[in-house]
Amino acid sequence: MTKLTFLTKISQKWAEGKFVCVGLDQADFKFNKLIVDQTFDLVCAYKPNSAFYEAAGLIGRKSLEQIIKYIQKNYPQIPVILDAKRADIGNTNEGYAKEAFDNLGADAITVHPYLGKEAIQPFLERKGKGVLVLVRTSNPGAQEFQDLLVCGKPLYQVVAEHVMTWNTNGNVGVVVGATYPEELKIVRGIIGDDVPILIPGVGAQGGNVEKTVLAGVNNRGQGIIVSSSRAIIFAPNPRKTTLKLHQEIVDSLKR
Amino acid sequence: MTKLTFLTKISQKWAEGKFVCVGLDQADFKFNKLIVDQTFDLVCAYKPNSAFYEAAGLIGRKSLEQIIKYIQKNYPQIPVILDAKRADIGNTNEGYAKEAFDNLGADAITVHPYLGKEAIQPFLERKGKGVLVLVRTSNPGAQEFQDLLVCGKPLYQVVAEHVMTWNTNGNVGVVVGATYPEELKIVRGIIGDDVPILIPGVGAQGGNVEKTVLAGVNNRGQGIIVSSSRAIIFAPNPRKTTLKLHQEIVDSLKR
């Protein structure tokens, strides 16, 4: 059996009308397993953030591997995005790619752009894996560097333009926070219809769902991975909260 | 006993005339222990790069903790820089800070600047710990973003200027590759005499030692952490290679 690529998996989920990504930001395997088992039919992806597992040390590392492998085994059609925000020089990135893709078995990883394409190459060369580059982050202070004007254009837009030229293997995506819908719309304009956008920041961070969807979708009404973490996993009823977000997205797409 | 801060530890080593940092870029504890035991009297710091440990999965995570704790126990005067190049939104960075400083016991960490000060805050708030911000990286493709002109000034210089304003706890440092001595000199000019510069890229990456030292030192002939990894740890005689680099630095400082 050939392994499905990240893009194939995520595209299939979009075709099924699913756009919610649940952020598994908690290091307890059993807790995560419960979340996954009650949301698998509603989501387009899962996104464990490495920091929450690292905070738990050795046990966290085990738990991260467990949950990714659990998803891959039981729900192999759902891609797992390792939100690790890595990036070092090329030689060193091979280590990070090995951990994310070979040891842990993730389908995609988030990366920082600062070192440029030449450094990111070991990730880009993994043709079946998604490489999601930070373009506009969801945090309140994102503008400090990301809005600096480069020849009259904010840096985040220049990063988005560059990232498009990195996409020779068709496995590149971008990350834009739901907290910045105007910037999200501009980025979609830059990257066209074929590049996925991972959009964290709905839920606890306060991003508006309808604005996010309308700003982020491509011309086919797809292309977005709308991620919520705390607001779903710590909800009294995670399935209900996921379903509500799913429905809000579906409703927004009809407008 | 009060724990020494990163800045106190590194300053003491500079006062002893030591500027070499050995990059422990290999996940085998016994291998690393041998390197440390034969170089401890020559170095100002050790720098394990997280990627090489992550590449080894669970065993690598154990080995990383082992070598840091071994150094802290046996050579508590020598600071350990965790070269992990982390950075996420603030809430999430607390997890990374916990892993680096509490679980692993590192004295300092390297971080990406892209999300800005507001996001980096959980690192900056650890007053005793060093927060070393990537300014100009050592890789051949560093210029792609780092040389973009912002109001006529390359981005890496703007990052260095910003980082200075982040330094309210006096625990900030910067990272500039030895492969870019001209940029190194400019950065030293921007940050003044009191901020440490971690300088990777001598050795396997080809940075020139004398140029690096002359460009990087502050007015007191100190302030630099000259890091070499592969060229030392895989040398036939790691102590001899470390001693040679140490001597080259000492000689350069006399010029």
Q: Would the CB atoms of B49 and A86 count as touching at under 8 Å? A: no
Please check the confidence at residue B203 and state whether its pLDDT lies above 90: no
B159 touches chain A (CB under 8 A): yes
- Chain B hits for A141, CB-CB cut-off 8 Å, are 115-119
pLDDT digits (tens, 9 = 90+) for B100-121: 999 999 999 999 999 999 999 9
What string of DSSP letters covers B202-253?
BSTT-B-HHHHHHHH--TTS--EEEEE-HHHHTSSSHHHHHHHHHHHHHHHH
Buried b (16+ CB within 10 A) or exposed e, A189-225: ebbeeebbbbbbbbbbbebbbebbbebbbbeeebbbb
Please check the confidence at residue B1 and state whether its pLDDT lies above 80: no
CATH of domain A6-254: 3.20.20.70
- Chain B hits for A165, CB-CB cut-off 8 Å, are none
- Chain A hits for B176, CB-CB cut-off 8 Å, are none
Band (pLDDT 50/70/90 cuts) for residue B179 is very high
**Among A25, A61, A82, A92, which would you mutate to test the B interface (most chain B Cβ atoms within 10 Å of its Cβ)?**
A92
Please report the number of interchain residue pairs, chain A to chain B, with beta-carbon separation below 8 angstroms. Answer: 178
Q: Which of A9, A30, A47, A85 is catalytic?
A: A85
> What pLDDT sits at residue B207?
85
> What pLDDT sits at residue A206?
85
Q: Residue B102: what are its φ and ψ, rounded to 5°?
A: -90, -50
Q: Residue A23: what are its φ and ψ, rounded to 5°?
A: -85, 115
ipTM score assigned to the predicted complex: 0.97
Residue B97 CB partners (closer than 8 Å, separation 6+): B109, B122, B123, B126, B129
Domain boundaries, chain B: 6-254
Query: Nearest C-alpha of chain B: how many angstroms from A209?
Result: 20
> What pLDDT sits at residue B248?
97
Q: Would the CB atoms of B85 and A90 count as touching at under 8 Å? A: no
pLDDT digits (tens, 9 = 90+) for B49-79: 999 999 999 999 999 999 999 999 999 999 9
Average pLDDT by stretches of 10, chain A with 255 residues: 87 98 98 98 98 98 98 98 98 97 98 98 98 97 98 96 97 97 98 98 88 97 97 97 98 92
Please provide the size of chain B in residues. Answer: 255
Q: Interhelix angle for A29-39 vs A238-254, to 10°?
A: 40
B161 touches chain A (CB under 8 A): no
What string of DSSP letters covers A56-71?
THHHHHHHHHHHHHHH
Distance between CA atoms of A224 and B66, rounded to whole angstroms? 42
Is there a catalytic annotation at residue A244? no
Please check the confidence at residue B2 and state whether its pLDDT lies above 80: no
CA distances from A200 to A171, A184, B76, B86, B99 (A): 19, 11, 41, 18, 23
B59 touches chain A (CB under 8 A): no
Per-chain mean pLDDT for chain B? 97
Band (pLDDT 50/70/90 cuts) for residue B255 is confident
Distance between CA atoms of A224 and A248, rounded to whole angstroms? 14
Q: Would the CB atoms of B99 and A158 count as touching at under 8 Å? A: no
pLDDT digits (tens, 9 = 90+) for B204-236: 788 899 999 999 999 999 999 999 999 999 999
A192 touches chain B (CB under 8 A): no
> What pLDDT sits at residue B156?
98
* B81-B87-B92-B96 Cα dihedral, nearest 10 degrees: -10
Q: Would the CB atoms of A92 and B52 count as touching at under 8 Å? A: yes
> What pLDDT sits at residue A2?
61
- Chain B hits for A152, CB-CB cut-off 8 Å, are none
pTM: 0.98
Please check the confidence at residue B189 and state whether its pLDDT lies above 60: yes
